[in-house]
Amino acid sequence: MLFNNKNKNERLKEEIHRAAARFLLEESNHRSLITITRTDLSEHAERMMIFLSVLPEEAEEEALEFSNRKRGELKKYLSQNFRLSRIPFIQFIIDRGEKNRQRLDEITKSD
């Protein structure tokens, strides 16, 4: 039973990840590159955090505000394009871990 629920949540994460990436690509003004780096879904699928990477870095706050402002439209997009019984609450967050990984890559390449 737990295994099936875990697989269902993983599929849900993957579907929302791909759909959110498509949605942001369609809706953005293309002044910055917004990439979804990962998604985290709560155990009972009531909350989902979508982690973003933004280039140029100076556009992060604007891209984050834009993404969070579009959450309602994203939920509508998901309900129209997927047969989901319940869409979790979605929150966009800048992926600080990805930024740290990129900095480490830069440091190791310069040695």
Q: Residues 33-52: pLDDT tens digits?
A: 999 999 999 988 899 999 99
Q: What is the pTM of this model?
A: 0.80
Domains and CATH numbers, the chain: 2-110 (3.30.300.20)
At residue 1, the pLDDT reads 39
**Window from 7-11, 37-41, 80-84, 98-102 with minimum mean pLDDT:** 98-102
Tell me the residue type at 78: L
Q: What is the CA radius of gyration of the chain?
A: 15
CA 24 and chain centroid, separation: 9
Rounded Cα distance between 47 and 34, Å, is 21
